[in-house]
Amino acid sequence: MSLRIVVSIKQVPDPEHFDKISLDPHTGSITRTGVPLVTNPLDRHALEEALIIKEQHGGLVYAITMGPPQARKVIEDAFAMGVDKGAILCDQLFAGADTFATARILSAGIRSLGDYDLILCGNDTVDGATGQVPAQLAEFLGVPHVTHVRKIDVLDEKSAAVERSIEGGYLKIEVQFPAVISVLKNINRYRLPTVMGIVEAAGKEIVELDASTCREFGIGNEEMGMKGSPTKVAEVFQSTVKRKVYMIEGEPEDVARKLVRNLRERQSI
């Protein structure tokens, strides 16, 4: 058996540094000065799952990302984990894409790489956190999708049995390839890059794709980026939800006594 697996990954601000991110109220744009960029954590689990499947069943793992030039870094990091090939979709025309336009651009990028059996993604990203791209990507590719996946058992070259988490349990699903599967954190523990991997990564070439790739697959310039996004940001505003806070001060013992008394008076406890 030999499976061709494409992993769609994204560069995001490091969640450990979220407190440094702010929105500029005048421009509505995100200020991320001083926030390091990393591979979206769930996408690393998707990469790991692809590598596990390849080790068990044979095949090839391709990583693809859409982003500005510095997003090459996430592909280099994927190489260091052991991914075989990588591609970046990078073009000014892609800027400002919502999930709809992003999924459409990714679908063209993935088609340009040739046949595939399985597309893996992280279930959502720590920045947008919508989790909408995997199902939309599947729609644009015309293949089945399963999201919220915590376990994948490849049955044969054409199908896999998966466990899909839902509130208070899971669904057992059998999915036919090609398909898009998005994974959750508990699916695996991802490996760290090895020194060998980093050395090998340095020699690997990243396939560069742009708007012309999309046009080859019938996506016009007006269908990319902000223009091709049905949703728009209308306004950014300061939240007015504030409460009048009563600060309790003093030594820890006093504070604790006052707090417990106060909560009892309010019948909260």
| Choices 44-52, 63-71, 136-144, 203-211; region in contact with other proteins by CB under 8 A | 136-144
Pick out residues in 20-39 that bind other proteins (CB under 8 A).
Answer: 20-23, 25, 28, 30
Is residue 159 classed as helix, strand or coil in its secondary structure?
Answer: strand
Residue whose C-alpha is closest to residue 193's, from 74, 62, 90: 74
Nearest distance from residue 213's CB to other proteins, in Å? 20
Nearest distance from residue 203's CB to other proteins, in Å? 33
Nearer to other proteins by Cβ, of 18 and 200: the residue is 18
Q: Is 262 in the site for other proteins (CB under 8 A)?
A: yes
Nearer to other proteins by Cβ, of 115 and 253: the residue is 253
Pick out residues in 70-109 that bind other proteins (CB under 8 A).
Answer: 98-100, 103
Nearer to other proteins by Cβ, of 4 and 85: the residue is 4
Nearer to other proteins by Cβ, of 92 and 262: the residue is 262
Q: Is 239 in the site for other proteins (CB under 8 A)?
A: yes
Quickly count: other Cβ atoms within 10 Å of residue 184's Cβ. Answer: 20
| Choices 51-59, 78-86, 213-221, 261-269; region in contact with other proteins by CB under 8 A | 261-269
Label the pairing between strands 118-122 and 3-9: parallel
Nearer to other proteins by Cβ, of 54 and 148: the residue is 148
Nearest distance from residue 66's CB to other proteins, in Å? 16
Number of residues lying near other proteins (CB under 8 A): 87
Residue whose C-alpha is closest to residue 126's, from 258, 38, 224: 38
Pick out residues in 113-132 that bind other proteins (CB under 8 A).
Answer: 124, 126-132
Nearest distance from residue 197's CB to other proteins, in Å? 24
Q: Out of 37, 41, 193, 215, point to the residue binding other proteins (CB under 8 A).
A: 41
Question: Angle, nearest 10°, between helix axes 72-81 and 41-57?
Answer: 40
Question: Angle, nearest 10°, between helix axes 133-141 and 99-112?
Answer: 50
Residue whose C-alpha is closest to residue 57's, from 120, 4, 128: 4
Residue whose C-alpha is closest to residue 173's, from 183, 158, 159, 186: 159
Is residue 201 classed as helix, strand or coil in its secondary structure?
Answer: helix
Residue whose C-alpha is closest to residue 8's, from 77, 62, 76, 82: 62
How many whole angstroms separate alpha carbon 195 and alpha carbon 198?
5
Show the tokens assigned to 224.
């990319």
The full length of the chain comes to 269
Pick out residues in 160-189 that bind other proteins (CB under 8 A).
Answer: 164-176, 179, 184-186
Nearest distance from residue 11's CB to other proteins, in Å? 16
